Each structure stands twice: as C-alpha cells, then as structure tokens.
Amino acid sequence: MKIISLALAVVFLSACQSPENDQSTTQNVQSKQQPTEPQENVANEAASDLVQDGKSGPLNFTLNNLSGEQVQAADYRGQWLILNYWATWCAPCRDEIPELVRFQNEHDNVQILGIAYEDAPVEKLQNFAADFNVNYPLLTMDIYDPPAFAAEGGLGLPTTIVYTPEGMRHKKHMGPIDYKGLQALIE
C-alpha cells in the first residue's frame, strides 16, 4: 500500500512541474539512455528535423505509398498539402474519409495525403482504400519510430495538418473533420 501511495505521489508531483523542468528532465533521461551518440550529431539531427518539419523551413519527407513507391513532400510544392493521420480501426477516421474524398475531387490546388498511423499489412490498407473509394495517396511509415514531422500526428486520431503551397505549416485540426472544416483550414 505504501508503494502505491508513493507511486501516486510521484505521478502527482511530476504533473505539477513547470514545462521547463519537464523538458530538462526529458533531455537528461534521453542523454542518459543514449550515451554512445556524440552530442554534435544529436544537435545536427535536431536542427535538421526543425528545418524539415514545415515550421522552421519547408516540410520535407519521403514515405512510401501503398504500391511501395516513394512520395516526397516536395512533389506537391505549389499546392496546399493536407496530411491526414488515420487508422483503419479508428471510427472517426472512417467517418471523415468521404469528406476528404469529396474535398480532393473538388480542389485542384490541394493534395491530400493519408498517413496510416498503424502497424498493418499493406494489403489490409489497400483493401480499406478500395472499400472507401479513397482518391488520394495513402502513405505508410514506421509508427514505432515515426519521422519527427509525423510524431504529433499520432497524439490523437484523426489529425489533419495543412501546409501552404510553399511547404510551411499553416493549421492543425485534431479530431474528425468535414468539408467545411477542410475549407476553413486552407483559408
């Protein structure tokens, strides 16, 4: 019983930390877990992720579509890019797909990319795409080690993030979205 009380106290107190303290604790834990990696490489990778995430510089990634072909963010420069994080098991994700399909049909200046945030065989994703008449590329990634730009996509499904035609992050929406919501995201 004392152990449970102690564990609850630790959890409660850690939730009360300021964000600065929390971040430094996280950084300390990470540095202790990865002592073999030189600090300069960590700094270079962090800087690279910042430049490629659409916040500090244009979004830059390469992922595979369901046919195994590489798709790059740069392929869609000049268009609004909508990244929709979803999963086949996610009921709200399934509900919004007809809205995404309709929006893609009616907007030539927009490209939607669905990013599967689940560990599923490609065949299952292909069948899902066929069943829902998905008319935009569906991409796969390693959900256990997602690229830095995609990490927040898995914080809640569905999540939709919009990038400007220049590749810069514009707006984010967590939860299901409809046609009007998509329209508001690109305004």
Per-residue pLDDT of the chain (187 residues; tens, 9 = 90+): 444 444 433 333 333 333 333 333 333 333 334 444 333 333 334 444 444 778 889 999 999 999 999 999 999 999 999 999 999 999 999 999 999 999 999 999 999 999 999 999 999 999 999 999 999 999 999 999 999 888 878 789 999 999 999 999 999 999 999 999 999 999 9
User: In whole angstroms, what is the distance from residue 91 CA to residue 2 CA?
Assistant: 41
Q: Is 9 exposed, middle or buried (0-12, 13-18, 19+ CB in 10 A)?
A: exposed
User: In whole angstroms, what is the distance from residue 76 CA to residue 162 CA?
Assistant: 12
| Residue ranges of domains in the chain | 2-52, 62-185
User: In whole angstroms, what is the distance from residue 49 CA to residue 51 CA?
Assistant: 5
Give me 136's structure tokens: 């935009």
| DSSP assignment letter at 150 | G
Q: Is 145 exposed, middle or buried (0-12, 13-18, 19+ CB in 10 A)?
A: exposed
CATH match of 62-185 with 3.40.30.10: yes
pTM higher than 0.85, yes or no? no
